[in-house]
Structure 1
Amino acid sequence: MNNEKEDILTSYLIDLGEEVLKLLLAKGAIKEDAEDIIQNTFYKVYTLLDDLNESTLRPWFFRVALNEYIDLKRKKEQQNIYLTEKVYSKLQYTECEFDAILNKNEIFFLLRDIRKEYKEVFFLKYYYDFSYEEIAAMLDVKVNSVKQKLYRARNLIQSKAGGKR
């Protein structure tokens, strides 16, 4: 890579890092954790630079940083959760938003056996409060795809909870 291209890439990555840092801070990350996540993501970018292209770099950067934030938050909040009949009964109210009827630890517990693609979208929406549009941008998919995966995830959780009653 010539110097001009390196300078353009470096400038783009710095801007991208600042954008993702602001997003992580807005989602509740403490500054030190957010900075560590960005630094780790930069490292991963440079190790995989040959495999990334302009169109995939931005969504990949968001995804890697966000996954690292989710993992960090999960480690900090890891607890054993025992679901009760009360939790399962809450799931009967399908018109309600999940975050209104379940606490975040209950959501985390219910997601443990759900397919990764559904789990990721579900976490982003109900655990981290991202909008459909933000999730679509991060995962580089259409908004309707996000809505469809959320719908399927909710149905899987409800059927799983219903099956244990």
Structure 2
Amino acid sequence: MILSGTQCAELSDAEIIRKSLEQVDYFSCLYQRYGPRLLQYIRRISSYSEEEAEDLLQDAFIKIWKNLNAYQPSLKLSSWLYRIVHNQVISSWRKQHGQQTSFALNDRDQFPDTLTEDLQYDDSGEEQMERLQQAIGDLPDKYKEVVLLKYFEDMNYEEISDILKIPEGTVATRLNRARQMMAKYCKKSSTKIR
């Protein structure tokens, strides 16, 4: 039996985990709550087709199910789920392409206001947004992944730290360096930066 969205909405994350361990039907609540966001994240950081991204999400949820009893309540559930999905994407990519990883920013992505504000971005025309997309695309992966998690997934430093298993200070440093690189790229490309 799959529980309704209303039934799932009434449960906290901790209750979903506890009840899922007791009765498999409650696991569907986890999928209903986090599946769409995790799928969007997979599509955002990879160049996989819609079908491949959905397959990857299913594989990730199988892994989540198998490791549900290993979840530590001291971690934020969403961070734990994103870390599993993130690792699944990297693992899948490496199987297909060797050790080199590459995170993609897809055309369907909208640029969050917080990103353009942090870069003190003056213009919002299509050409300028393309330059900004190229600037993000040209970032080394370790900087791109923190930009995507911070600005496109709206996560805080602690959550990013949990997902990537790096200290919060490293998250801050990578974000700062990424902003500097993007500003430099945009300046070189004649994009208006204050």
Matched residue, 2:33: 22
Following superposition, the deviation at residue 134 of structure 1 comes to 1.2
The residue type equivalent to 1:61 in the other structure is: I
Matched, 1:135 2:146: no
Q: Deviations over 1:34-62 (max 9, x none)?
A: 9754312256x59xxxxxxx9xxx57514
The residue type equivalent to 1:97 in the other structure is: D
Alignment partners' CA distance in 1, 2:174 and 2:187: 20
Matched residue, 1:40: 59
Matched, 1:97 2:118: yes
CA contact (8 A) 2:57 2:85 kept: no
Q: Which runs of 5+ in 1 are unaligned?
A: 1-10, 47-53, 79-93
Alignment partners' CA distance in 1, 2:172 and 2:27: 26
Secondary structure in structure 2 of the residue aligned to 1:114: coil
Alignment partners' CA distance in 2, 1:99 and 1:25: 31
Structure-to-structure mapping, 1:73-152, within 5 angstroms:
74=106, 77=108, 96-98=117-119, 107-152=132-177
The residue type equivalent to 2:59 in the other structure is: N
CA contact (8 A) 1:135 1:146 kept: yes
Matched, 1:156 2:181: yes
CA contact (8 A) 1:122 1:150 kept: yes
Alignment partners' CA distance in 1, 2:173 and 2:108: 28
Q: Which runs of 5+ in 2 are unaligned?
A: 1-20, 41-50, 65-70, 72-79, 93-102, 110-114
TM-aligned CA distance change 1:133 to 1:66, over 3 Å: farther
Alignment partners' CA distance in 2, 1:133 and 1:111: 22
The residue type equivalent to 1:115 in the other structure is: P
CA contact (8 A) 1:21 1:35 kept: no
Identical pairs, percent:
20
Following superposition, the deviation at residue 122 of structure 1 comes to 0.5
Task: Report how many residues are paired.
Answer: 126
TM-aligned CA distance change 1:27 to 1:121, over 3 Å: same
TM-aligned CA distance change 1:127 to 1:18, over 3 Å: same
Question: Once superposed, what is the RMSD of the aligned Cα atoms?
Answer: 4.7
- Identify, as 1 or 2, the structure richer in helix: 1
